[in-house]
């Protein structure tokens, strides 16, 4: 039977497998671009009064966006991070030791089902957690986001996309679909943890289903492509 690559249990398993290597490998495989993209996501967050705020980091992984968030908004009071993969959760909790532990809590939970309280977040960010959702799940995600945000609260989301129409797309696809999995198999003892990236980005396309879902959920949103469309950034707020 064909596996459902959008089954939350399957997705959690994919990230459990790569959790120990995720931080380093995502940085190397993106030639460091992923750091600039996380920074761009945080820069797109229109947070006018960060003092005393409580934010959420959705599909947080190992917490790679936190340094960018706390650098731009040192006065953030609290961040609640959420991720479905126990492996990523364990790596993230490890990262909390030190000065961040009192300000960040990391929950191992499914974003599509979480009961984080209504209107409880002053802002939301999500970096690279949307491609493992299908269109129906984007709708659920958007409704959850709209539910959790306080009226007027901003959000910023970023995801790797398929840069349709970009002159460098053939090279980009070759890299994601063949070169990366090949490097991984050769240098990481036959690992195939990141080989799914090509499949997920191809199915994700330009991320139109995210834009539609956010609008349908009543959020004000602007979407813009980065680097020829190889990533897409959504920023906006919950009206009210
Ligand atoms: C590519 S990683 C991104 C991690 C991190 N935000 C970053 O910038 O590197 C995607 C993350 O989304 C998480 N994820 C996928 N589906 C989820 C769901 N339904 N609920 C919560 N987390 C989910 C995965 O476990 C994984 O850690």
Q: How confident is the model at residue 1 (pLDDT cuts 50, 70, 90)?
A: low
Please report the pLDDT score of residue 212 as a whole number.
98
Query: Measured between alpha carbons, how far is 35 from 40 in angstroms, rounded to an integer?
Result: 9
Q: What is the pLDDT of residue 193?
A: 64
Does ligand 1 have an atom closer than 6 angstroms to the CB of 129? Answer: yes
Q: How far apart are alpha carbons 80 and 15 in whole angstroms?
A: 20
| Nearest residue to 216 (alpha-carbon basis) of 140, 159, 165, 130 | 140
CA–CA dist 13, 214 (Å, integer): 27
Backbone Cα Rg of the chain:
17
Question: To test ligand 1's pocket by mutation, which of 23, 26, 83 has the most ligand atoms within 8 angstroms of CB?
Answer: 83
Task: Decide: 11 in ligand 1 pocket, CB within 6 A.
Answer: yes
Angle (deg, nearest 10), helices 208-216 and 135-148? 40
**E strand or H helix at 155:** strand 154-160
User: Stretch 49-57: mean pLDDT, rounded?
Assistant: 90
Mean pLDDT across 181-201: 78
Residues 62, 23 contacting (CB under 8 angstroms) = yes
Worst-scoring range by mean pLDDT, 56-60, 62-66, 110-114, 195-199?
A: 195-199
Q: At what angle do helices 180-187 and 8-29 cross, to 10 degrees?
A: 90
- The answer on pLDDT for 191 being more than 80 is no
Contact 160, 128 (CB under 8 A): yes
Range 146-169 average pLDDT: 96
Per-residue burial over 171-193, b if 16 or more Cβ lie within 10 Å, else e, is ebbebbbeebbeebeeeeeebeb
Confidence of residue 83 (pLDDT cuts 50, 70, 90): very high
Q: In the numeric block, which tokens belong to residue 20?
A: 């120990």
Residues linked to residue 155 through DSSP beta bridges, in sequence order: 124, 236
pLDDT of residue 89: 93
Q: What is the pLDDT of residues 94-134, one digit of tens each?
A: 888 777 888 999 999 999 999 999 999 999 999 999 999 99
pLDDT of residue 182 exceeding 90, the answer is no
Q: Distance between CA 29 and CA 184 in Å, rounded?
A: 10
pLDDT at 92 over 80: yes
Q: Is 29 in the pocket of ligand 1 (CB under 6 A)?
A: no
Q: Does the CB atom of residue 82 touch ligand 1 within 6 A? A: yes
Per-residue model confidence (pLDDT) at position 188: 67
d(CA 211, CA 27): 27
Q: Are strands 78-83 and 104-108 parallel, antiparallel or unpaired?
A: parallel
Q: Which residues pair with 123 in a beta bridge?
A: 55
Task: Give 8-237's CATH code, choosing from 3.30.565.10, 1.10.20.10, 3.40.50.150, 3.30.420.40.
Answer: 3.40.50.150
Query: How far is it, in rounded angstroms, from Cα 62 to Cα 171?
Result: 29
């Amino acid at each position: 039977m064909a596996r459902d690559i959008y089954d939350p249990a399957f997705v959690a398993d994919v990230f459990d497998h790569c959790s120990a290597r995720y931080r380093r490998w995502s940085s190397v495989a993106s030639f460091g671009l992923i750091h600039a993209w996380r920074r761009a996501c945080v820069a797109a967050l229109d947070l006018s009064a960060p003092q005393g705020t409580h934010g959420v980091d959705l599909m947080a992984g190992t917490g790679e966006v936190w340094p960018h968030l706390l650098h731009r908004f040192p006065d953030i009071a609290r961040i609640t991070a959420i991720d479905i993969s126990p492996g990523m959760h364990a790596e993230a909790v490890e990262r909390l030791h030190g000065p961040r532990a009192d300000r960040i809590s990391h929950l191992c939970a499914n974003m599509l089902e979480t009961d984080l309280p209504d209107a409880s977040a002053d802002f939301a960010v999500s970096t690279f957690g949307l491609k493992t959702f299908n269109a129906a799940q984007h709708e659920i995600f958007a409704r959850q986001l709209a539910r959790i945000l306080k009226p007027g609260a901003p959000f910023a989301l970023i995801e790797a996309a398929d840069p349709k129409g970009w002159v460098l797309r053939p090279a980009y696809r070759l890299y994601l679909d063949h070169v990366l999995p090949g490097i991984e198999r050769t240098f990481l003892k036959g690992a195939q943890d990141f080989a799914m990236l090509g499949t997920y980005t191809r199915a994700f396309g330009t991320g139109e289903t995210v834009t539609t879902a956010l609008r349908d959920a009543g959020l004000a949103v602007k979407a813009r492509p980065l680097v020829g469309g190889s990533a897409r950034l959504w920023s906006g707020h919950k009206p009210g």
